[in-house]
Copies of this chain bind each other. A is one copy, B any other.
Amino acid sequence: MATTLTLHPDRALPADPATRGLARRIHAHTAALPLVSMHGHVEAQVLADDVPFGDPAALLVTPDHYVTRMLVSQGVAPHELGVRGPGDPATGPREIWRTFCTHWNLFRGTPSRFWLEHELVEVFGVDVRPGAGTADQIFDRITAVIGDPAFRPRALLDRFGIEVLATTDPATARLEHHAKLAADGYGQRVIPTFRPDALVHLGRPSWRADAALLAEVSGIDTGSYDGYLEALRARRAAFVEAGALATDHGHLGTDTTPLSRTDASTIYRDALAGDVSAQEADAFAGHMLHAMAGMSRDDGLVMQLHPGVLRDHHEAAFGAYGPDRGWDIPVHTEYTRSLRPLLNDFGTDPGFRVILFTVDETSYSRELAPLAGVYPSVRLGAPWWFLDSPHAMRRFRESATETAGFHNTSGFVDDTRAFASIPARHDLSRRIDAGYLASLVVEHRLDEDEAFETATDLAYHLPKRAYAPRG
């Protein structure tokens, strides 16, 4: 059945008519605000080179783990989606696209559905619902659109109204794409984020290579723990120089217990010798969160903590397809005890800022809102990953606001890999916040002028403030 595809102006707004009417006005008030994208995974090279996007499958299906995981969960083989392991056959873009459209029904009730509809209609001008019978027509339409120079990445940056876009870059990145962007006048607009994960997890097979690369890029010998710290500081300085505002840390746990310099040095030396236990590696990773907090206090980079995801749950899938293919699964995550060492040392320091994210929403009302509601250095990050969805965003506001208020949250952070979905994600967030604020007004818990002001804060001012340099 082919059906028209349109975006209803009231989508994702509350059902109650009075609430919806006000939510519509609040959303209208924020809909045209610039997009502040303080955390995400768009590659800097995409904007540095400004080359046209590839085919519809390469743009919307193959790299989007939200999409591929859903299709895989219903029996589609990864290679049918362009996710190839060793020995897998190649699949053409049109065939991938047909597979995707044929399974459109799987996305009912998911945020992917919301984002994709927004992209198809708003960005590509598609007006029919994806399905087996419309796949080719939509494929051709998108193909035509992305051939247009107005669809080049830099043009979209303007069209989308993106005021600032932060990329996420390994600590060892040479930042040459950011240098090119700066040379082209995009230095304030596309900024790097310092992500040292590969360097602090001593147990990873690639660690020694990464430590060597750190030495090479920084020009500082990482053969000792002191040199390693110095090299990290040097890289942070280079990131600051390139416009970075933040670091990003993706640990499984949230332990932040510092080690003595002697213990840290010993573990580091043993790791260089290839002789480190899992327990020592974990202790060192927790220690480094504490050490990085100290560096943040010194250089003003805002610390982002994204814990609680067990990466690459299925080992064979990881072996065949590599990371970030949808096989990462959250775990129960503890914050109150784990963050205590870090917060005792830096949590009230005016020079320090940490933004806490979670994929364990049980921690919102129990731990994260109480922490953010008293520690001046803590902000509570926007709902992340699996929680960046209508119901989950609403639960976040309902669980966190009563203890943390609005001003101790980060405002919206899109965290996207899919450049073309950035406007859809901001729009959805603004709609959910408009609905929440409208509910507060309709229940006479907030005045209307306050709701409008807060909506602007959440969409624009709070992320700007949360990531502003400290000190």
Contact = CB atoms under 8 A, between A and B. Distances in A.
Contacts of A327: 374
A405 interface: yes
Nearest to A347: B314
Interface string A374-410: 1110100000001101111001011101111111100
B11 A367 contact: no
A444 interface: yes
A293 interface: no
A274 B16 CA distance: 63
B402 A109 contact: yes
A391 B401 CA distance: 9
A443 B337 contact: no
Contacts of A350: 75
Interface stretch (A189-197, A234-242, A356-364): A356-364
A331 interface: yes
A446 B107 CA distance: 10
Stoichiometry, copies per complex: 3
A223 to B, nearest CB: 36
A148 interface: no
Contacts of A446: 108-109
A313 B329 contact: no
A337 B331 CA distance: 8
Interface string A1-16: 1010000101111111
A337 B450 CA distance: 45
A14 B444 CA distance: 10
A62 B15 CA distance: 41
Given A316-B344, A348-B314, A392-B402, A329 B439 contact: no
Give the 8 A-B CB pairs with smallest separation, nearest first: A8-B444, A11-B444, A389-B402, A109-B401, A69-B374, A391-B398, A15-B16, A15-B442
Interface of A: 1, 3, 8, 10-19, 69-70, 72-75, 105-111, 113-114, 129, 310, 313-317, 326-332, 334, 336-337, 340, 343-344, 347-348, 350, 359-362, 365-367, 369-376, 378, 386-387, 389-392, 395, 397-399, 401-408, 439-440, 442-447, 449-450, 453-454
20 contacts: A10-B444, A11-B445, A15-B18, A70-B374, A105-B450, A107-B405, A109-B397, A109-B445, A129-B447, A310-B337, A314-B348, A314-B374, A332-B334, A332-B366, A359-B366, A366-B386, A386-B402, A389-B403, A392-B399, A392-B402
